[in-house]
Chain A
Amino acid sequence: MTLQPQRQILVVFPHPDDEAFSSAGTIRLYRNMGVPVTYACLTLGEMGRNLGNPPFATRESLPEIRREELKEACKHMGIDDLRMMGLRDKTVEFEDDEKMVKLVTNLIDELNPSLIITFLPGYAVHPDHEATGRAVIEAVRRIPKDERPTVYAVGFANNTLAEVGPPNIEIDVSNVKLDKVNALKAHASQTAWMIEESTKRIDDGRPMSDSWLHFERFYHYQFED
Protein backbone atom coordinates (compact mmCIF):
# COMPACT_ATOMS: atom_id res chain seq x y z
CA MET A 1 0.00 0.00 0.00
CA THR A 2 1.09 3.58 -0.51
CA LEU A 3 2.16 5.62 2.47
CA GLN A 4 -0.52 7.87 3.88
CA PRO A 5 0.67 11.50 4.06
CA GLN A 6 1.58 12.56 7.60
CA ARG A 7 2.20 15.89 9.32
CA GLN A 8 4.22 14.61 12.29
CA ILE A 9 4.92 11.11 13.59
CA LEU A 10 5.39 10.09 17.22
CA VAL A 11 6.99 6.71 17.90
CA VAL A 12 6.62 5.32 21.43
CA PHE A 13 8.41 2.12 22.43
CA PRO A 14 10.00 1.01 25.71
CA HIS A 15 13.33 -0.49 24.59
CA PRO A 16 16.12 0.59 22.27
CA ASP A 17 15.75 -1.81 19.28
CA ASP A 18 11.93 -2.17 19.48
CA GLU A 19 11.73 0.54 16.83
CA ALA A 20 14.38 -1.03 14.60
CA PHE A 21 12.71 -4.44 14.41
CA SER A 22 9.19 -3.11 13.95
CA SER A 23 9.34 0.24 12.20
CA ALA A 24 12.80 1.33 11.01
CA GLY A 25 11.86 1.11 7.33
CA THR A 26 8.60 2.99 7.74
CA ILE A 27 10.33 5.69 9.76
CA ARG A 28 13.07 6.01 7.14
CA LEU A 29 10.54 6.27 4.29
CA TYR A 30 8.68 9.08 6.07
CA ARG A 31 11.92 10.86 6.92
CA ASN A 32 12.88 10.68 3.24
CA MET A 33 9.59 12.47 2.53
CA GLY A 34 10.54 15.16 5.06
CA VAL A 35 7.99 14.16 7.71
CA PRO A 36 9.26 14.96 11.23
CA VAL A 37 9.55 11.92 13.50
CA THR A 38 9.95 12.00 17.28
CA TYR A 39 10.96 8.82 19.04
CA ALA A 40 10.13 8.55 22.75
CA CYS A 41 12.09 5.57 24.05
CA LEU A 42 10.93 4.89 27.57
CA THR A 43 13.88 2.89 28.98
CA LEU A 44 17.46 2.08 28.04
CA GLY A 45 16.88 -1.67 28.11
CA GLU A 46 18.89 -1.81 31.33
CA MET A 47 17.82 -5.38 32.05
CA GLY A 48 18.83 -6.84 28.70
CA ARG A 49 20.19 -10.35 29.18
CA ASN A 50 22.78 -10.53 26.47
CA LEU A 51 26.16 -9.60 27.95
CA GLY A 52 28.18 -12.04 25.81
CA ASN A 53 30.42 -14.90 26.85
CA PRO A 54 33.13 -13.74 27.09
CA PRO A 55 31.19 -10.69 28.26
CA PHE A 56 31.38 -7.29 26.52
CA ALA A 57 29.38 -5.50 29.22
CA THR A 58 28.19 -5.65 32.82
CA ARG A 59 24.68 -5.15 34.17
CA GLU A 60 25.82 -1.61 35.07
CA SER A 61 27.56 -0.66 31.82
CA LEU A 62 24.85 -2.03 29.50
CA PRO A 63 22.56 1.05 29.64
CA GLU A 64 25.32 3.39 28.45
CA ILE A 65 26.19 1.00 25.62
CA ARG A 66 22.55 0.84 24.61
CA ARG A 67 22.18 4.61 24.79
CA GLU A 68 24.95 5.00 22.20
CA GLU A 69 23.51 2.20 20.05
CA LEU A 70 20.14 3.93 20.10
CA LYS A 71 21.65 7.23 18.96
CA GLU A 72 23.48 5.44 16.15
CA ALA A 73 20.33 3.58 15.07
CA CYS A 74 18.46 6.90 14.97
CA LYS A 75 21.02 8.24 12.48
CA HIS A 76 20.22 5.37 10.11
CA MET A 77 16.48 5.95 10.49
CA GLY A 78 16.90 9.71 10.10
CA ILE A 79 15.41 10.46 13.52
CA ASP A 80 16.74 13.75 14.86
CA ASP A 81 14.31 14.12 17.76
CA LEU A 82 15.09 11.28 20.16
CA ARG A 83 13.65 11.49 23.68
CA MET A 84 15.01 9.11 26.30
CA MET A 85 12.33 9.08 28.96
CA GLY A 86 14.33 7.70 31.90
CA LEU A 87 12.18 4.78 33.02
CA ARG A 88 13.72 1.44 33.95
CA ASP A 89 13.47 -1.70 31.88
CA LYS A 90 10.93 -4.20 33.28
CA THR A 91 9.26 -1.63 35.54
CA VAL A 92 7.00 0.26 33.10
CA GLU A 93 3.86 -1.70 34.08
CA PHE A 94 4.46 -0.85 37.75
CA GLU A 95 4.59 2.91 37.24
CA ASP A 96 1.46 4.83 38.15
CA ASP A 97 -0.96 4.27 35.25
CA GLU A 98 -2.11 7.88 35.22
CA LYS A 99 1.50 9.09 35.14
CA MET A 100 2.09 6.93 32.07
CA VAL A 101 -0.96 8.32 30.28
CA LYS A 102 0.18 11.85 31.18
CA LEU A 103 3.63 11.16 29.77
CA VAL A 104 2.08 10.29 26.41
CA THR A 105 -0.50 13.10 26.59
CA ASN A 106 2.26 15.65 27.15
CA LEU A 107 4.08 14.41 24.04
CA ILE A 108 0.88 14.54 21.99
CA ASP A 109 0.06 18.05 23.22
CA GLU A 110 3.54 19.26 22.37
CA LEU A 111 3.96 17.56 18.98
CA ASN A 112 0.41 17.29 17.63
CA PRO A 113 1.24 14.08 15.74
CA SER A 114 -0.96 12.84 12.90
CA LEU A 115 0.36 9.27 13.40
CA ILE A 116 1.55 7.40 16.48
CA ILE A 117 3.42 4.09 16.23
CA THR A 118 3.44 1.84 19.30
CA PHE A 119 2.61 -1.68 20.50
CA LEU A 120 -0.80 -3.35 20.30
CA PRO A 121 -2.07 -3.98 23.84
CA GLY A 122 -2.85 -7.64 24.48
CA TYR A 123 -0.54 -8.88 21.73
CA ALA A 124 2.81 -7.29 22.50
CA VAL A 125 4.45 -10.16 24.45
CA HIS A 126 6.74 -8.21 26.80
CA PRO A 127 5.12 -6.58 29.87
CA ASP A 128 6.88 -3.28 29.08
CA HIS A 129 5.46 -3.41 25.54
CA GLU A 130 1.97 -4.01 26.91
CA ALA A 131 2.21 -1.14 29.39
CA THR A 132 3.50 1.20 26.69
CA GLY A 133 0.73 0.31 24.27
CA ARG A 134 -1.92 0.68 26.99
CA ALA A 135 -0.70 4.14 27.96
CA VAL A 136 -0.67 5.34 24.35
CA ILE A 137 -4.10 3.93 23.54
CA GLU A 138 -5.61 5.47 26.68
CA ALA A 139 -4.00 8.85 25.98
CA VAL A 140 -5.38 8.87 22.44
CA ARG A 141 -8.81 7.58 23.54
CA ARG A 142 -9.18 10.67 25.74
CA ILE A 143 -8.80 12.97 22.74
CA PRO A 144 -12.08 14.03 21.05
CA LYS A 145 -12.85 11.51 18.32
CA ASP A 146 -12.39 13.79 15.32
CA GLU A 147 -9.04 15.12 16.59
CA ARG A 148 -7.38 11.79 17.32
CA PRO A 149 -4.16 10.89 15.55
CA THR A 150 -4.00 7.60 13.68
CA VAL A 151 -2.38 4.78 15.67
CA TYR A 152 -0.35 2.05 14.01
CA ALA A 153 0.15 -0.76 16.52
CA VAL A 154 2.64 -3.62 16.44
CA GLY A 155 1.40 -7.03 17.57
CA PHE A 156 3.53 -10.14 17.42
CA ALA A 157 2.26 -12.52 20.11
CA ASN A 158 1.86 -16.08 18.84
CA ASN A 159 -1.94 -15.78 19.00
CA THR A 160 -2.19 -12.42 17.21
CA LEU A 161 -3.11 -13.70 13.75
CA ALA A 162 -5.68 -16.15 15.13
CA GLU A 163 -7.39 -13.59 17.33
CA VAL A 164 -6.95 -10.25 15.57
CA GLY A 165 -6.49 -11.37 11.98
CA PRO A 166 -3.80 -10.16 9.61
CA PRO A 167 -2.36 -6.65 10.04
CA ASN A 168 -4.28 -4.20 7.88
CA ILE A 169 -1.31 -1.94 7.20
CA GLU A 170 1.55 -3.43 5.21
CA ILE A 171 4.36 -1.10 4.21
CA ASP A 172 6.86 -2.15 1.56
CA VAL A 173 10.23 -1.04 2.91
CA SER A 174 12.39 -2.83 0.30
CA ASN A 175 13.81 0.48 -0.93
CA VAL A 176 15.19 1.30 2.51
CA LYS A 177 16.12 -2.25 3.51
CA LEU A 178 19.76 -1.28 3.97
CA ASP A 179 18.84 1.49 6.38
CA LYS A 180 16.75 -0.97 8.36
CA VAL A 181 19.61 -3.48 8.44
CA ASN A 182 21.99 -0.73 9.56
CA ALA A 183 19.60 0.36 12.31
CA LEU A 184 19.40 -3.24 13.50
CA LYS A 185 23.18 -3.57 13.32
CA ALA A 186 23.57 -0.39 15.37
CA HIS A 187 21.85 -2.23 18.23
CA ALA A 188 24.78 -4.65 18.23
CA SER A 189 24.43 -5.68 21.88
CA GLN A 190 21.00 -7.02 20.99
CA THR A 191 21.37 -8.13 17.39
CA ALA A 192 24.97 -9.26 16.85
CA TRP A 193 24.04 -12.92 17.36
CA MET A 194 21.29 -12.59 14.75
CA ILE A 195 23.50 -10.86 12.19
CA GLU A 196 26.18 -13.50 12.84
CA GLU A 197 23.73 -16.37 12.37
CA SER A 198 22.44 -14.81 9.17
CA THR A 199 25.97 -14.37 7.77
CA LYS A 200 26.88 -17.92 8.74
CA ARG A 201 23.86 -19.33 6.97
CA ILE A 202 24.66 -17.35 3.84
CA ASP A 203 28.23 -18.74 4.02
CA ASP A 204 26.76 -22.23 4.42
CA GLY A 205 24.60 -21.68 1.35
CA ARG A 206 21.29 -21.80 3.24
CA PRO A 207 20.37 -18.15 3.72
CA MET A 208 17.56 -17.16 6.07
CA SER A 209 14.56 -15.70 4.33
CA ASP A 210 14.78 -11.92 4.45
CA SER A 211 11.14 -11.33 3.57
CA TRP A 212 10.58 -9.86 7.03
CA LEU A 213 13.00 -7.10 6.01
CA HIS A 214 10.85 -6.12 3.05
CA PHE A 215 7.55 -5.45 4.78
CA GLU A 216 6.56 -3.81 8.06
CA ARG A 217 3.09 -4.67 9.27
CA PHE A 218 0.85 -2.75 11.65
CA TYR A 219 -2.68 -2.81 13.00
CA HIS A 220 -4.53 0.43 12.35
CA TYR A 221 -6.04 0.74 15.83
CA GLN A 222 -9.82 1.12 15.87
CA PHE A 223 -11.31 2.95 18.86
CA GLU A 224 -14.74 1.80 20.00
CA ASP A 225 -16.11 5.24 20.80
Chain B
Amino acid sequence: MKEVQVNEIQELLNSFANKDVYIHLETTNGAYATHFDEKVFNAGAFIRNAKIRFELAKIIDDTPHRVGLKMEHGWVYAQGITHYKLDEKGRLLMAGLDYTGKLAVALEISETPFTY
Protein backbone atom coordinates (compact mmCIF):
# COMPACT_ATOMS: atom_id res chain seq x y z
CA MET B 1 0.00 0.00 0.00
CA LYS B 2 1.11 3.55 -0.63
CA GLU B 3 0.00 6.85 0.80
CA VAL B 4 -3.31 8.22 -0.38
CA GLN B 5 -3.36 10.09 -3.65
CA VAL B 6 -6.78 11.65 -3.83
CA ASN B 7 -7.14 11.82 -7.59
CA GLU B 8 -6.15 8.22 -8.11
CA ILE B 9 -8.47 6.92 -5.40
CA GLN B 10 -11.33 9.05 -6.71
CA GLU B 11 -10.92 7.50 -10.16
CA LEU B 12 -10.79 4.00 -8.69
CA LEU B 13 -13.88 4.63 -6.58
CA ASN B 14 -15.73 5.86 -9.66
CA SER B 15 -14.85 2.64 -11.48
CA PHE B 16 -16.87 0.63 -8.92
CA ALA B 17 -19.95 2.86 -9.02
CA ASN B 18 -23.28 1.41 -10.15
CA LYS B 19 -22.03 -2.18 -9.88
CA ASP B 20 -22.73 -4.90 -7.36
CA VAL B 21 -19.62 -4.91 -5.18
CA TYR B 22 -18.45 -6.62 -1.99
CA ILE B 23 -17.06 -4.54 0.81
CA HIS B 24 -14.94 -5.12 3.88
CA LEU B 25 -15.39 -2.30 6.39
CA GLU B 26 -13.60 -2.43 9.70
CA THR B 27 -12.67 -0.24 12.61
CA THR B 28 -10.67 -1.44 15.58
CA ASN B 29 -8.48 -0.36 18.45
CA GLY B 30 -7.22 -3.88 19.06
CA ALA B 31 -8.37 -6.79 21.19
CA TYR B 32 -5.75 -5.96 23.81
CA ALA B 33 -6.62 -2.26 24.24
CA THR B 34 -8.22 -2.69 27.65
CA HIS B 35 -5.60 -5.24 28.75
CA PHE B 36 -2.87 -2.65 28.21
CA ASP B 37 -4.86 0.34 29.53
CA GLU B 38 -7.91 -0.24 31.68
CA LYS B 39 -9.15 3.27 30.93
CA VAL B 40 -9.70 2.40 27.27
CA PHE B 41 -13.28 1.62 26.29
CA ASN B 42 -12.83 -1.02 23.65
CA ALA B 43 -15.12 -0.72 20.65
CA GLY B 44 -14.80 -1.93 17.10
CA ALA B 45 -16.84 -3.33 14.25
CA PHE B 46 -16.38 -5.11 10.99
CA ILE B 47 -18.54 -6.29 8.15
CA ARG B 48 -17.07 -8.57 5.50
CA ASN B 49 -18.48 -9.45 2.11
CA ALA B 50 -21.57 -7.29 2.40
CA LYS B 51 -22.86 -6.84 -1.14
CA ILE B 52 -23.75 -3.26 -1.93
CA ARG B 53 -24.20 -0.90 -4.87
CA PHE B 54 -23.31 2.76 -4.66
CA GLU B 55 -24.13 5.54 -7.06
CA LEU B 56 -21.70 8.17 -5.83
CA ALA B 57 -18.34 7.95 -4.08
CA LYS B 58 -16.05 10.63 -2.74
CA ILE B 59 -12.74 10.84 -1.00
CA ILE B 60 -12.24 14.06 0.92
CA ASP B 61 -8.82 15.71 0.76
CA ASP B 62 -8.07 16.02 4.43
CA THR B 63 -5.51 14.25 6.63
CA PRO B 64 -6.38 11.55 7.40
CA HIS B 65 -8.89 11.15 4.58
CA ARG B 66 -12.58 10.34 4.70
CA VAL B 67 -14.41 8.19 2.16
CA GLY B 68 -18.18 8.13 1.68
CA LEU B 69 -20.24 5.91 -0.60
CA LYS B 70 -23.82 6.97 -1.30
CA MET B 71 -26.25 4.10 -1.85
CA GLU B 72 -29.89 4.11 -2.87
CA HIS B 73 -31.01 3.78 0.75
CA GLY B 74 -28.02 4.83 2.80
CA TRP B 75 -24.33 5.37 3.25
CA VAL B 76 -20.98 3.71 3.83
CA TYR B 77 -18.47 5.90 5.66
CA ALA B 78 -14.85 5.54 6.72
CA GLN B 79 -12.69 8.09 8.49
CA GLY B 80 -8.92 7.92 8.89
CA ILE B 81 -7.82 6.48 5.53
CA THR B 82 -4.07 6.93 4.97
CA HIS B 83 -2.98 4.19 2.53
CA TYR B 84 -4.34 2.28 -0.44
CA LYS B 85 -3.58 -0.28 -3.08
CA LEU B 86 -5.32 -1.71 -6.12
CA ASP B 87 -4.27 -5.33 -5.63
CA GLU B 88 -3.57 -8.04 -8.20
CA LYS B 89 -7.22 -9.09 -8.06
CA GLY B 90 -8.47 -5.62 -8.95
CA ARG B 91 -9.69 -4.91 -5.43
CA LEU B 92 -9.40 -1.43 -3.97
CA LEU B 93 -7.89 -1.85 -0.50
CA MET B 94 -7.91 1.28 1.64
CA ALA B 95 -6.63 1.42 5.19
CA GLY B 96 -5.95 3.88 7.93
CA LEU B 97 -2.68 3.10 9.70
CA ASP B 98 -1.85 4.85 12.94
CA TYR B 99 1.56 6.34 13.72
CA THR B 100 2.90 2.96 14.83
CA GLY B 101 1.71 1.14 11.71
CA LYS B 102 -1.36 -0.47 13.25
CA LEU B 103 -4.57 -0.67 11.30
CA ALA B 104 -7.31 1.53 12.76
CA VAL B 105 -9.79 1.46 9.89
CA ALA B 106 -10.19 -0.39 6.59
CA LEU B 107 -12.52 -0.02 3.65
CA GLU B 108 -12.10 -2.45 0.77
CA ILE B 109 -14.15 -2.77 -2.41
CA SER B 110 -14.16 -5.77 -4.74
CA GLU B 111 -16.29 -7.11 -7.57
CA THR B 112 -15.70 -10.64 -6.26
CA PRO B 113 -16.12 -11.87 -2.67
CA PHE B 114 -13.17 -11.63 -0.32
CA THR B 115 -11.86 -14.87 1.17
CA TYR B 116 -13.96 -16.23 4.08
Give A contacts to B, CB under 8 Å: 47, 49-55, 58-61, 63, 86, 88, 90, 125-128, 157-158, 193
Interface centre among B83, B101, B106, B116 (most CB of A within 10 A): B101
When distances are taken between beta carbons in the complex, the residues of chain B under 8 Å from A157 are 35
Q: CA A60 – CA B85 in complex, angstroms?
A: 11
Would you give the shortest CB distance from A211 to chain B, in whole angstroms? 20
Q: Is the CB of A59 within 8 A of B35?
A: no
Interface of A is mostly: loop
Q: Is the CB of B93 within 8 A of A53?
A: no
Would you give the shortest CB distance from A189 to chain B, in whole angstroms? 10
When distances are taken between beta carbons in the complex, the residues of chain A under 8 Å from B31 are 90, 125-128
Would you give the shortest CB distance from B53 to chain A, in whole angstroms? 21
- Closest-by-CB residue of B relative to A53 is B101
- Interface of chain B residues 1 through 58 with chain A (CB within 8 A): 1-2, 24, 26, 28, 30-32, 35, 38, 46
Q: Is the CB of A59 within 8 A of B26?
A: yes
When distances are taken between beta carbons in the complex, the residues of chain A under 8 Å from B30 are 49
Q: CA A208 – CA B75 in complex, angstroms?
A: 48
- Closest-by-CB residue of A relative to B38 is A158
When distances are taken between beta carbons in the complex, the residues of chain A under 8 Å from B108 are 59-60
A-B contact sample (16 more), CB < 8 A, given A90-B31, A90-B46: A47-B26, A47-B28, A47-B46, A49-B28, A50-B102, A50-B103, A53-B99, A54-B2, A55-B83, A59-B106, A59-B108, A86-B116, A125-B31, A125-B32, A157-B35, A193-B100
Q: How many residues of B contact A (CB 8 A)?
A: 31
- Closest-by-CB residue of B relative to A48 is B103
Query: Per-position contact with A for B104-116: 1 when CB-CB < 8 Å, else 0?
Result: 1010100000111
Name 19 A/B residue pairs within 8 A (Cβ), A-sorted: A47-B28, A49-B28, A49-B30, A51-B97, A51-B102, A51-B103, A53-B99, A54-B2, A54-B101, A55-B95, A55-B101, A58-B87, A58-B95, A59-B24, A59-B26, A59-B95, A59-B108, A60-B108, A158-B38
B98 at interface by CB-CB < 8 Å: yes
Q: Is the CB of A49 within 8 A of B102?
A: yes
When distances are taken between beta carbons in the complex, the residues of chain A under 8 Å from B93 are 58-60
Q: CA A128 – CA B32 in complex, angstroms?
A: 12
Q: Is the CB of A60 within 8 A of B114?
A: yes
Q: Is the CB of B95 within 8 A of A88?
A: no
When distances are taken between beta carbons in the complex, the residues of chain B under 8 Å from A128 are 31
Q: Is the CB of A50 within 8 A of B101?
A: yes
Q: Check A52/B101 contact, CB under 8 A, given A58-B1, A58-B95, A59-B26.
A: yes
Q: CA A55 – CA B38 in complex, angstroms?
A: 29
- Interface of chain B residues 45 through 102 with chain A (CB within 8 A): 46, 82-83, 85, 87, 91, 93, 95, 97-102
